[in-house]
C-alpha cells in the first residue's frame, strides 16, 4: 500500500463510541500530519468533530436505511469520487459502508474482519478489552504509533460563555457544582430516579456551598424536572434539553464531579477533564468504562451478581438486580470524598 493522500473514516454512531475513537484519530493525525482526514458521522454527533484539530473535514451522513437513504448515499459516492479519496477506515464491520467506499473508487480499505474483503483486515479480539483499545488496533495495523489511549475533548470558547450564562441564570452561585445525568438510551442501564433524588438530597445537606445541576437531552426533560421537583431545593435545578452537545460539555467542564450511569454524556464529562463517577450494571467497565483525562471512579456490581457482564438483554428477568444493588450511600460517600478533595486542591 502507498502512503495515503486523502483518508476517509466512517465514524461510529453513538456519543461514547465516537469519543472512544479519539485516540485512534490522534494516532492517525500524528503519523499523517499533512494528509487530508475526513470523518463521516451521523448528524446528532457531528458537533463533536466540527472544531477538532484531529480531522480536516466532517461529512454528515444519516444512519437511515432503505429506499429513503439511497439519494443521500449516491450523492456521497459522487462527492467522494470527485475528491479522490484513496484510503478508508471502517471502525466497525459494515458491508454496506465497504461497498459504498468501493463504489466511490477508494482502493484501500482498513477494518475488522467479518463483512467483506478489505485491504487490511484486523481480527476483533476474543479477549474483552476496552473499546478504545479495539479501535486503536486499526491504527496499529496501518503503521501508526499509539502514544495514548485516553480521550480528550476541547470545549469551544463560545460554548463556555453560554454555559456560564446558563448556570448563572439557573443557579445560586455556589462554589461547588455537582453534575447529575439521570438519563440514558437504554432503560436497563439507568439508576432509579428515587436513588438520584436521595443522592442529591444527601450531597446538598453535606455541603452548603454545593449546588446540583441535572443534565439531559430533550427526551430527558420530564425525568430531570421530576427529579429536581422531588429534591425541593433552590440549589438543585435542571438544564435538560437546553444545551447543545458543546453546551453540555461546557456545563460538565464547570462541574467538580459528574455522576451518571454508563452513557455517552458520562464519557463526554470525562473527556472534558472533569471527575466522574460511573454507575455500571449490565455493561462492563473493562469494555466501556470512562477513560478520559480526568479522575474516574467506577461503581460496579459485576462481582456481586451471578449474571454474565456485559449483558445486552433489553428485558431483564432478574428485576435489573445489577443496578438495584448500587447503594445510594456508597455513591454519596464517593461524591463527598471527591468534593472534599477538590476543595483541598483549590
- DSSP symbols for 53-106: TT-SEEEE-----SGGGHHHHHHHHHHHHHHT--EEEESS--HHHHHHHHHTT-
Whether residue 341 is predicted with pLDDT greater than 90 in this model: the reply is no
pLDDT digits (tens, 9 = 90+) for 296-332: 999 999 888 888 899 888 788 788 899 999 999 999 9
Query: Mean pLDDT over residues 69-93, rounded?
Result: 96
pLDDT digits (tens, 9 = 90+) for 211-243: 999 999 999 999 999 999 999 999 999 999 999
Residue percentage of the chain with pLDDT more than 90? 84
- Contacts (Cβ under 8 Å, ≥6 apart) of 320: 188, 281, 282
Residue 185 has a pLDDT of 84
Q: What angle do CA 14, 286, 97 make, to 5 degrees?
A: 35
The pTM (predicted TM-score) of the whole model is 0.95
Give the residue carrying C-alpha cell 470512562: 290
Residue percentage of the chain with pLDDT more than 70? 98
Residue 314 has a pLDDT of 76
> How many Å separate Cα 185 from the centre of its chain?
12
pLDDT digits (tens, 9 = 90+) for 125-170: 988 999 999 999 999 999 999 989 999 999 999 999 999 999 999 9
Whether residue 346 is predicted with pLDDT greater than 50 in this model: the reply is no
pLDDT digits (tens, 9 = 90+) for 274-285: 999 999 999 999
Give the residue carrying C-alpha cell 460511573: 278
**What domains does the chain contain, in order, with CATH numbers?**
6-141 (3.40.50.2000), 157-345 (3.40.50.2000)
Amino acid at each position: 500500500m502507498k502512503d495515503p493522500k486523502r483518508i476517509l473514516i466512517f465514524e461510529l454512531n453513538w456519543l461514547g463510541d465516537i469519543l472512544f475513537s479519539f485516540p485512534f484519530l490522534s494516532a492517525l493525525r500524528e503519523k499523517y500530519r499533512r494528509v487530508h482526514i475526513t470523518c463521516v458521522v451521523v448528524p446528532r454527533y457531528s458537533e463533536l468533530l466540527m472544531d477538532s484539530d484531529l480531522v480536516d473535514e466532517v461529512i454528515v451522513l444519516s444512519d437511515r436505511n432503505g429506499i429513503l437513504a439511497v439519494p443521500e448515499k449516491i450523492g456521497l459516492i459522487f462527492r467522494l469520487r470527485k475528491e479522490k479519496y484513496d484510503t478508508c477506515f471502517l471502525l466497525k464491520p459494515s458491508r454496506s459502508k465497504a461497498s459504498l467506499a468501493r463504489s466511490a473508487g477508494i482502493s484501500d480499505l482498513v477494518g475488522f474482519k467479518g463483512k467483506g474483503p478489505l485491504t487490511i483486515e484486523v481480527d476483533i479480539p476474543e479477549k474483552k478489552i476496552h473499546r478504545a483499545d479495539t479501535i486503536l488496533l486499526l491504527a496499529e495495523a496501518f503503521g501508526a504509533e499509539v502514544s495514548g489511549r485516553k480521550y480528550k475533548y476541547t470545549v469551544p470558547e463560545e460554548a463556555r460563555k453560554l454555559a456560564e450564562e446558563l448556570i448563572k441564570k439557573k443557579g445560586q452561585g455556589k462554589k461547588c457544582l455537582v453534575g447529575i445525568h439521570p438519563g440514558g438510551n437504554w432503560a436497563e442501564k439507568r439508576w432509579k430516579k428515587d436513588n438520584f433524588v436521595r443522592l442529591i438530597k444527601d450531597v446538598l445537606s453535606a455541603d452548603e456551598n454545593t449546588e446540583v445541576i441535572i443534565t439531559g437531552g430533550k427526551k430527558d426533560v420530564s425525568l430531570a424536572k421530576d427529579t429536581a421537583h422531588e429534591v425541593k431545593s433552590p440549589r438543585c435545578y435542571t438544564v435538560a434539553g437546553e444545551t447543545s452537545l458543546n453546551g453540555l460539555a461546557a456545563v460538565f467542564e464547570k462541574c467538580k464531579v459528574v455522576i451518571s450511569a454508563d452513557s455517552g454524556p458520562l464519557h463526554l464529562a470525562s473527556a472534558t477533564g472533569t471527575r466522574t463517577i460511573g454507575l455500571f450494571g449490565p455493561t462492563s467497565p473493562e469494555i466501556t468504562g470512562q477513560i478520559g483525562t480526568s479522575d474516574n471512579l467506577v461503581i460496579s456490581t459485576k462481582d456481586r451478581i451471578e449474571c454474565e457482564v456485559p449483558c445486552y438483554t433489553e428485558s431483564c428477568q432478574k428485576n435489573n438486580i445489577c443496578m438495584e444493588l448500587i447503594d445510594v450511600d456508597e455513591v454519596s460517600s464517593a461524591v463527598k470524598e471527591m468534593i472534599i478533595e477538590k476543595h483541598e486542591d483549590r
